[in-house]
Amino acid sequence: MAFIDEIKIYAKAGRGGDGVVRFRHEKNREFAGPSGGDGGRGGSIYALAERNVHLLAQYRGRKKFIAKRGEDGKSNSLHGRGGKDLDILLPVGSLITNLKTNTTLSLNKEGERVLLLKGGAGGRGNESFKSSINTTPKESTSGRDGEKAFFFIEVELIADIGFIGLPNAGKTSLLNKFTHASGKVGDYPFTTLEPNLGEYHGYIISDIPGLIAGAASGKGLGHKFLRHIKRTKILVHLISLENEDPKKAYQIIREELKQYNQELLIKPEIVVLTKADLVGDPAYLLEQVADIKKIADVVLAVSIYDDNLLRALNDAMLEKVRFKEDRLQTGP
C-alpha cells in the first residue's frame, strides 16, 4: 500500500441542542411553572493516536468528520443528551495543524488523545430563566454552533525498527517475511528506491534503500533516507554472506552512520548475516558470526528459506524493541 504521509481534512464539532419552552400542567392550573429543559452539548472532535501508519491512506476518500448534534431539551425539566464525541484515528507521529488558528498539536504516543474542536454549548430551556420576578418565563435560547476548521496532517515517521545495509543485502526480502509488506525484491543493487514500511507485532519496521560508502556525503540513494533512521528505536544491520569480507561490509556502513550522525552508533543494534543458505560450510558460518561478535553485541545468521533462523531473529528483534520500550517508559 502506498504510504501517505500528509492529508488535509475538514472537521466540525456538533451543534448544541436547543433549549425549549414548556410548562408543567397540574390539575386546574395550566401553566403551573416553567419546565423546559436545556439542550445538550454538541459532540467534540478529538484526535486519537494509533500505531497504524496506513490510517491516512484510508481517509483519502473521506475527508469530512462531523460530530453529532446535542439533543434538544424536553418537557418535565429534562435536559437533552450531549452529542457523541468523535475520535479521528491518526498514526503516532502525526502533526496536526488547525488551519484556522494556525496552531499545531502532535501525537507522540499510542493512545494519546487531544481535543481538536469543542462541541457547541446547549441552549437554555425556559426553566433556567425562572426567577422571583419572572415565575413563568417564555424564553429559551438555541444551541451554539460547534467549532469547525480545516486541518493539515503530516506524519513524521517514527519507526521502531530500521533495516539498513548495503544494496542487495536482503533487507526488503526480510521485511516481506516479517510483515504484510510486499516490497519489490531484485537481484541487483538499488531495487528499493523509497522506504518500505511494514507492521510487525504492533511495531513499525522501515526498510530504507541500500547505503554505500560515501552515502553520508551524498553517494547513492541512502543519503536522503538516513534521516528516517534518526528517530528509529533500534537498527537491524543486514550483511549478505555473499560478501567476501562481511566484517568489512559492516564497518563500511558503520563509518557512514558515524559521518552522518554520531548518535546513530549508539542505537541498540542487531547484526544479521543474510543468505546463510548460500554458505556450504557450517564452520565458515560460525567463523563469520564469531568474527563480527568481536565488534558487535548481537549477531545472528539468517536465511529467508530457513524457518528456525527466521524465528531466532524474530525473537531477538522483539526482545530488543521491547527492552528499548521499557527503558523509554521508566527512564534510562
Q: Which residues bind ligand GTP (CB under 6 A)?
A: 165, 167-173, 185-187, 189-192, 209-210, 274-275, 277-278, 303-305
To the nearest whole angstrom, how small is the minimum distance from the Cβ of residue 311 to ligand GTP? 14
Contact between 222 and 264 under an 8 Å Cβ cutoff? The reply is no
* Sites for Mg ion among residues 181-200 (CB under 5 A): 191-192
To the nearest whole angstrom, how small is the minimum distance from the Cβ of residue 91 to Mg ion? 23
Judged by beta carbon distances under 5 to 8 A according to partner kind, the member of Mg ion, ligand GTP, none in contact with residue 41 is none
To the nearest whole angstrom, how small is the minimum distance from the Cβ of residue 91 to ligand GTP? 24
Q: Looking at 2-10, 167-175, 246-254, 321-329, which segment touches Mg ion (CB under 5 A)?
A: 167-175
Q: How far is CA 287 from CA 48, 246, 293, 300, 331, in A?
A: 49, 11, 10, 12, 37
Euclidean distance between CA atoms 21 and 53, whole angstroms: 50
Taking the alpha carbons at both ends of the chain, their separation in whole angstroms is 36
Judged by beta carbon distances under 5 to 8 A according to partner kind, the member of ligand GTP, Mg ion, none in contact with residue 79 is none
Name the closest residue to ligand GTP (Cβ).
Answer: 210
Radius of gyration of the chain, Cα coordinates, nearest whole angstrom: 29
Residue whose entry in the numeric block shows the C-alpha cell 403551573? 32
To the nearest whole angstrom, how small is the minimum distance from the Cβ of residue 210 to Mg ion? 7
| DSSP structure class, residue 96 | E
Which backbone phi and psi does 14 adopt, to 5 degrees? Answer: -70, 150
Residue from 47, 35, 39 nearest 15 by CA: 39
Q: Based on the shown chain and the rule CB under 5 A, indicate whether residue 206 belongs to the binding site for Mg ion.
A: no
Nearer residue to ligand GTP within complex by CB, 97 or 274: 274
Nearer residue to Mg ion within complex by CB, 52 or 191: 191
| DSSP structure class, residue 313 | H
Q: Based on the shown chain and the rule CB under 5 A, indicate whether residue 173 belongs to the binding site for Mg ion.
A: no
Residue whose entry in the numeric block shows the C-alpha cell 560460525? 286
Chain residues that interact with Mg ion, rule: CB under 5 A:
171-172, 191-192
